[in-house]
Structure 1
């Protein structure tokens, strides 16, 4: 029986590695060897610190993570979308191999880099929110929070809808600079002129600023998880009769990947991996991030290199 090595929290705030036997390969399953992964700071750090507002209880060992890129080793008899040797993205977290249902496998063309492939998941999550809005190239859009989700939202606004006016709220200059090559401008809005706002920061102060900045009868899409702070409505929401649209997860991960990886569109993705580590050093990386006050946008995890 194959075993998977898993990096997780073995106890509260205590990262480590455990092993687990893999289940047998079912007819609709895919056996994957992990080549690379990513740490999603916004989603995982609150879980590691037991500060996730959406969690009611924590059970250990606690596995986190949902962005993995790997090579197909074997497939079940009924699997049709991939074959051994293909590259895929999936959602199984920080482990060196996995048995994944075919329904959760996203095929990746051979010419797509691991970094580009790993961004496809959150790019699809951002896209779902954008697709819920009524937008044209002439719409004025304000986006708060230039973490991974916010930056990929700006990317999709530009490359799918071709929105010409994309402004952002981001207090960290280093993060705001990531948005400029994508066509966004940094503003401190003081009037209610925006057609649409998209909340990606997870912070109440930014959410309140969006409500003030959107025109009467405008729309705010909440993409952030709500796992950091409670997001509440302000008097401006009622006075201007605004609408709130919520969005979670992606619209269709395979179709979105087809769009993203077509032509040279994938080369327009921002390089959001400000830090790199190896799978063997991942527990130490977790510890460092839990103690840090200056966090990277995203961490790339190399499973083929050793520390």
Structure 2
């Protein structure tokens, strides 16, 4: 069966290619309606800033090989099941589903890897499930506590979803840091108590404002922001790094205050569960929690552009050249 697939072919260039796939008896065929561009990772790939010898994602069956060009990528597709294999019940036919699948017009998948989309959730909202899951994972890893001061560096889609989840916690203060005015305004609508620029965050530190944060998230994708995140902490605080910098190298000032204040820096990556959570949490439980959060947050307000799949290369040029987009969706005829 033929389909159109989006390929990253070299730095700064994507193209649509006709590919062929053969569904197995235990798979269904999904006709794609919407797919979400996850700007952080996908822009690193688009720009050639991802390590090419790294596996695409061993936890997602639809992604194979490494990150060397040319490659298919993406992991947030919503579509309708149009056919079922001989070993799959007909009940799946006609269902709307979410899949961790690259950008392409149709694909085959085992039902166990699909998430049925509730009737009251639009396809546009459902396409952002992976972002809600990442935000859920970040909050689980950060373990916010009653009355804590929390700062989120980076108000892109992941940062805003994380702010939305954190806003339900009884925190003392939830602060968003981002250089873009529109994103700071979105952060306030998602539940932040305050939204400031990186310069304002640095000024607060220099002036000794408050006692530093208890929990800081670095979600900007900017290596230089990690130093600012560490500088904004207080005694015995935690910095959770959800950004992936690819081949970009951060330069850190791990001076006296970092050591004397016993600051902890932790990584967070949605493909695995943290060791502290594995006794009680599974990926299924986390995904179900994310689906619940997805329905509770004003997630569609983050969608700024919908671009036809046939014009997909323009979506990456837009993201690469402009600061205005938040969530870009690809739409399929």
Verify same fold: TM over 0.5: yes
Which position in structure 2 is the counterpart of 1:151?
Answer: 160
From 90, 95, 98, the counterpart of 1:89: 98
Encode CA deviations 1:65-111: one digit per residue, 9 max, x unaligned.
21111111233455579711111111211100001233431221122
Which position in structure 2 is the counterpart of 1:194?
Answer: 213
Q: 1:239 and 1:124, CA in 2 relative to 1: closer, same or farther beyond 3 A?
A: same
Bigger Cα displacement from structure 2, 241-250 vs 175-184: 241-250
From 102, 106, 111, the counterpart of 2:111: 102
TM-score when scaled to structure 2? 0.81
Is 1:171 aligned to residue 179 of structure 2?
yes
Which position in structure 2 is the counterpart of 1:301?
Answer: 330
Look up the SS of the partner of 1:127 in the other structure: helix
Encode CA deviations 1:156-210: one digit per residue, 9 max, x unaligned.
1123x35452101111111111100122112424244211011101223321111
Which position in structure 2 is the counterpart of 1:51?
Answer: 49
From 244, 248, 255, the counterpart of 2:269: 248
Aligned residues of 1:106 and 1:254 also touching (Cα < 8 A): no
Bigger Cα displacement from structure 2, 187-196 vs 111-120: 187-196
Task: Please list every run of 5 or more consecutive structure 2 residues that lacks an aligned counterpart in the other structure.
Answer: 54-65, 274-281
Cα distance in 1, alignment partners of residues 219 and 89 from structure 2:
36
Cα distance in 2, alignment partners of residues 144 and 131 from structure 1:
17
Q: 1:271 and 1:257, CA in 2 relative to 1: closer, same or farther beyond 3 A?
A: farther
Cα distance in 2, alignment partners of residues 19 and 9 from structure 1:
14
Aligned residues of 2:4 and 2:17 also touching (Cα < 8 A): yes
TM-score when scaled to structure 1? 0.87
Encode CA deviations 1:88-141: one digit per residue, 9 max, x unaligned.
111211100001233431221122012211111111112112112332342211
Which position in structure 2 is the counterpart of 1:208?
Answer: 227
Which position in structure 2 is the counterpart of 1:127?
Answer: 136
Aligned residues of 2:184 and 2:195 also touching (Cα < 8 A): yes
Question: What pairs with 1:33-48 in structure 2 (closer than 5 Å)?
Answer: 33-48=31-46
Aligned residues of 1:34 and 1:95 also touching (Cα < 8 A): yes
Quote how far apart the aligned CAs of 1:220 are: 0.8
Figure out how many residues of one structure are paired with residues of the other and give that number: 299
Q: 1:213 and 1:34, CA in 2 relative to 1: closer, same or farther beyond 3 A?
A: same
Look up the SS of the partner of 1:111 in the other structure: coil
Look up the SS of the partner of 1:271 in the other structure: helix
Is 1:269 aligned to residue 269 of structure 2?
no
Task: Please list every run of 5 or more consecutive structure 1 residues that lacks an aligned counterpart in the other structure.
Answer: none
Quote how far apart the aligned CAs of 1:212 are: 1.4
Encode CA deviations 1:39-83: one digit per residue, 9 max, x unaligned.
12221122112122x334864432222111111123345557971
Look up the SS of the partner of 2:185 in the other structure: helix
Look up the SS of the partner of 1:132 in the other structure: helix
Cα distance in 2, alignment partners of residues 277 and 242 from structure 1:
43
Cα distance in 2, alignment partners of residues 36 and 79 from structure 1:
24
From 63, 72, 81, the counterpart of 2:72: 63
Aligned residues of 2:213 and 2:232 also touching (Cα < 8 A): yes
Q: Calculate the aligned-residue CA RMSD, in Å.
A: 2.6
Quote how far apart the aligned CAs of 1:269 are: 2.5
